[in-house]
């Protein structure tokens, strides 16, 4: 890893100013993605501005039917504290990586990174969450622009994510056992007036909404409504762990499993 100056910011304004003054400076949140990347010398910032001491970026707050989570809130905190508010999201957070990763990794880091197999992007997209930055608010539909690509501009800080809380939600993660990321995972969120279905791990373009699945479940929220559907394998990821055809096949299967678990009993 190349050396850099470490700065622990105490406010978003301070962090933003350092990034404005030095285009080579970078943001550090939980470091679970960035530090391994820097060890491989795929990133070499001049300065690293740590966000994790900024109290305003931490914690969960519920207002009516929306849940706001600070950008530097760890996966472990979401897993523990969202249980009574948004259990589907708590369950997702509790299955990211392993306990030590969850104790450091943050929701803001995950959503800023937008790994094509990451978990939170599926929840954010299925729910139509709002990404709150130090400059503006970006709806999830306009935020995820492709593999490791987001609408964040240089130096823009993701300060919070605001989720509309669904009536019911389920994250079905088919684990890729070597990385513990998803091979394919589907987040199903049911609201009074619509159903959101977002898929991670499958597409070469990153996380996406499965419109056909959403429409089918909007008409009838049953496993049968999606079981017969299929997606084209073109554009799906093929790697040593699975073919594009296998990944395409998993999407309706996992969606149906999510619906089954939400409607059983």
Interacting residues toward ligand FAD by CB under 6 A = 26-34, 51, 71, 96-97, 101, 105-106, 108-110, 112-113, 115, 118-120, 152, 157-158, 180-181
Which one of 31-39, 112-120, 143-151, 222-230 is the stretch in contact with another protein (CB under 8 A)?
Answer: 31-39
Q: Which does 148 bind (CB under 5 to 8 A by kind): another protein, ligand FAD, none?
A: none
CB of 227 to ligand FAD, least distance (A): 26
Residues 6+ apart with CB under 8 A from 265: none
Q: 10 Å Cβ neighbour count for 168? A: 17
- Contact call for residues 173 and 119 (beta carbons, < 8 A): yes
Pick the piece of the chain touching another protein (CB under 8 A) from 30-38, 136-144, 150-158, 204-212: 30-38
Q: Kindly state the DSSP code that residue 144 receives in the 8-state scheme.
A: E
* Burial class of residue 207 (count of CB atoms within 10 Å of its CB; 0-12, 13-18, 19+): buried
113 touches, from ligand FAD, another protein, none (C-beta below 5 to 8 Å by class)? ligand FAD
d(CA 24, CA 155): 10
Our finding on whether 6 is near another protein (CB under 8 A) is yes
**Size of the chain, expressed as the number of residues it contains:** 265
* Helix, strand, coil content of the chain in percent (nearest 5): 35, 25, 40
- Point out which span in 45-53, 107-115, 163-171, 243-251 binds another protein (CB under 8 A): 45-53
Q: Which residue among 43, 101, 151, 229 contacts another protein (CB under 8 A)?
A: 101
Question: CA geometry: angle at 146 spanning 154 and 214, to 5°?
Answer: 130
* Between 114 and 255, CB nearer to ligand FAD: 114
Residues at the interface with another protein (CB under 8 A)? 1-6, 8, 28, 31-32, 35-36, 38-39, 48, 50, 52, 76, 97-101, 103-104, 180
């Amino acid at each position: 890893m190349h050396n850099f100056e470490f700065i622990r910011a105490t406010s978003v304004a301070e962090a933003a100013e350092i990034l404005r003054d030095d285009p080579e400076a970078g943001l550090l949140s939980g470091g679970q993605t960035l530090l391994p990347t820097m060890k491989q010398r795929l990133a070499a910032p001049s300065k690293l501005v740590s966000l994790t001491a900024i109290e305003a970026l931490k914690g969960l707050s519920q207002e009516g039917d929306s849940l706001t989570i600070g950008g530097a809130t760890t996966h472990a905190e979401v897993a523990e504290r969202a249980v009574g508010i948004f259990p589907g999201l708590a369950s997702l957070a509790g299955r990211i990586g392993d306990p030590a990763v969850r104790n450091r990794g943050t929701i803001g880091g995950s959503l800023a990174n937008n790994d094509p197999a990451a978990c939170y992007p599926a929840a954010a997209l299925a729910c139509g969450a709002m990404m709150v930055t130090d400059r503006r608010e970006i709806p999830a539909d306009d935020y995820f622009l492709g593999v490791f690509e987001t609408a964040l501009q240089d130096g823009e800080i993701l300060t919070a994510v605001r989720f509309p809380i669904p009536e019911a939600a389920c994250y079905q993660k088919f684990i890729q056992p070597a990385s513990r990321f998803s091979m394919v995972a589907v987040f199903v969120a049911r609201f009074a007036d619509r159903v959101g279905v977002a898929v991670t791990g499958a597409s070469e373009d990153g996380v996406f909404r499965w419109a056909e699945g959403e429409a089918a479940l909007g008409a009838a929220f049953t496993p049968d409504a999606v079981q017969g559907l299929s997606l084209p394998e073109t554009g799906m990821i093929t790697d040593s762990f699975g073919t594009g055809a296998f990944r395409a096949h998993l999407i309706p299967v996992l969606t149906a499993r999510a619906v089954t678990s939400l409607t059983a009993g």
